[in-house]
Amino acid sequence: MTSNLASIRRRIDVRTALLLVAKADAYGHGAIAIAHHAQRCGVDALGVTTCAEALELRQAGIRTRTVILGPVFSEEAPPAIRAGIELCVPSQELGRGVERAAFAVGKPARVHVKVDTGMGRLGVPPDEALELLETVRSSPGLELAGVMTHFAATEGASSAALQEQVLRFQGLLEEAKKRSLLSGRDVWIHAANSAAVLSGIDPLYDAVRVGIAAYGVSADPGLRSEEFRPILSVRTRIVHLRTLRTGDRVGYGGTWSATRPTRIAVLPMGYHDGIDWRLGNHGAVLIRGRRVPMVGRISMDYTTVDVTDVPGLGLGDTVTIIGEDAGRRIRVEELAELIGTIPYEITCTIGRRVARTYCGGANCQIARLPAAVSG
């Protein structure tokens, strides 16, 4: 991840802050370990979606500036406010709720006003954002920490729709400045995500929110770059081997049958662990540098592969689900394309029982667990 963060730094102005998005357990990579490493790498802030995610990082010793990018109800807010975590305010109603929580705690809440410029999801429309900014500025229980929007286009700056969002956001900011609503050294204006940064969006404002690119995964084929290397590998071991006769079937529903005497290896990972059910009879794994097909349906706990053409295998031999083996690689993007989904889904669905092992450079704190996933 260190090199990916450095590549992002080279693409943004030295004065632009880098917020690493670590929501959804850092896209399945493990939020606590990723946050500790990012903190050592000097990221300016971390972004998550919920209070629970933010508080988990605080409890794990993360002191880096942390922003909750999703909505927060008043009953959730007090512990986050006490911990100095910054909150998103996407509406007047939720803003008032955060204000009540701040009064109850006796400490102002630092908030980011979220503006919907075209995503059609969270946030106030630009024509209502000024009123919300005035509410925040006039409240003794709220401190303005930022103003943000979220781009909908996955292809980045080449999208006409994204450029329209920039124009709407820029118009709001100009009007807000006229009314002196954005004054203050600590107020961040932020909009750019991974796709926007990699495609050269301008302006970048005060901070960028980078997620998937930092993990070395591309959200859009047009933005893929060898400069960004995947930090995650998923590996398992063979737990059972057996030989099938011609005509024998494998798995639920018997969707695959042997056309020759076939050696089958059983892997102790299934769809609960992140091997998508749709990969059955379509996906492949790497064993000793060879691509080996998945055969039969993916079960909750097991996957079966045809290893007939890989002689000499034994119990405990390593199998690569995602990552590199002897110069060959299976990428997250490849799996996503194969089953018609997005790379985010592949990493985010890696199950909790899949143990994580974290490793890095000489200055990297290593948290070790039984190996299955490495980041």
Sequence ranges of the domains in the chain: 2-223, 233-374
Q: 335, 322 in Cβ contact below 8 A?
A: yes
pLDDT at 247 over 70: yes
pLDDT at 371 over 80: no
Residue 23 annotated as catalytic: yes
Instruction: Give, in degrees to the nearest 5, the angle at Cα 135 between 130 and 138.
Output: 120
323 pLDDT band, cuts 50/70/90, is very high
Q: Is 345 exposed, middle or buried (0-12, 13-18, 19+ CB in 10 A)?
A: middle
Residue 343: the pLDDT is 95
Residue pLDDT, tens place only, 123-133: 999 999 999 99
Residue 314: the pLDDT is 97
Residue pLDDT, tens place only, 265-290: 999 999 999 999 999 999 999 999 99
Amino acid at 266: V
Tell me the whole-structure pTM to 2 decimals: 0.91
Residue pLDDT, tens place only, 133-191: 999 999 999 999 999 999 999 999 999 999 999 999 999 999 999 999 998 778 999 99
Residue pLDDT, tens place only, 215-238: 999 988 888 888 999 999 999 999
pLDDT at 244 over 70: yes
What is the CATH code of the structural domain delimited by 2-223?
3.20.20.10
Residue 178 annotated as catalytic: no
pLDDT at 361 over 50: no
Which of 27, 252, 271, 344 is flagged as catalytic? 252
**Partners of 275 in beta bridges:** none
Residue pLDDT, tens place only, 51-107: 999 999 999 999 999 999 999 999 999 999 999 999 999 999 999 999 999 999 999
Q: What share of the chain is helix, strand, coil (3-state, %, to 5)?
A: 35, 25, 45
Residue 70's nearest CA partner among 51, 56, 83, 98 is: 51
365 pLDDT band, cuts 50/70/90, is very low
Instruction: Give, in degrees to the nearest 5, the angle at Cα 183 between 181 and 189.
Output: 85
Topology of the domain comprising 233-374? Lyase, Ornithine Decarboxylase; Chain A, domain 1 (2.40.37)
Residue 245: the pLDDT is 98
pLDDT at 335 over 60: yes
Sign of the CA dihedral 25, 29, 33, 35?
Answer: negative
Which of 23, 215, 271, 358 is flagged as catalytic? 23
Residue pLDDT, tens place only, 14-65: 899 999 999 999 999 999 999 999 999 999 999 999 999 999 999 999 999 9
Residue 47: the pLDDT is 98
